Structure 1
Amino acid sequence: MLWFSVWTVLVVGTLVGAWFLLRSLWRSARDLLTELGRASQVVADLTEQVEELRRLQEAASSPVRHTLFADKDVLRAQRARLRLDRDRRRELRWERDEATRARWRAVWR
């Protein structure tokens, strides 16, 4: 009779433990599937953004063309425009560098 009650308690305890374990696994699996759904939506959104950025980049970048026999005035104008862009970037970079140097001077004084 004693062994019957010991085994009964062990079996019932095992079943209760299995119930809690399965419930925890079920909840974890459900949460995992929810997160996977959210992750797939984020990946889809990122894919759309990448495609949009790729289209914008292709539209913004001019293709390289052979200009051996092109009109020299057009080439000179393009070179002048590129030089202006370069000078503008150089001025902006100088201003940023000056602001950084001023901040560092203020910190170290």
Structure 2
Amino acid sequence: MASTPSREVPVKGYSVHLLFHALALICGAAVGIGGALWWSGGIPVAGWAAGAALLLGVAVLVLQWHQLTAGRSQPAPPPNRGGTRPEFAASTARGLPEVDPPTRRG
């Protein structure tokens, strides 16, 4: 199965990626348990704990998004021009003949 290169997670940051997934799962479980205790048991503290876990889970997902996009924001190095000046490279790219620059005769 082939994946798109823009969505790939670099191998060196994969452990951090898995850590964020584990934290998001733990926060989701805490929201579910706290919400169930508040809904069925009428325990107000469980409702507050579920709300706090939900906010923490959103913060974890925002941090994961930031970590993933920070790895892609590095600009690519400029292409190697091979030591040619831009005006000469442009003239040869258009198919114009190469002409020696005029010399001064003194």
Higher helix share: 1
> Structure 1 length normalisation: TM-score?
0.40
> Structure 2 length normalisation: TM-score?
0.41
Of structures 1 and 2, the one scoring higher in RCO (CA 8 A, sep 6+) is 2
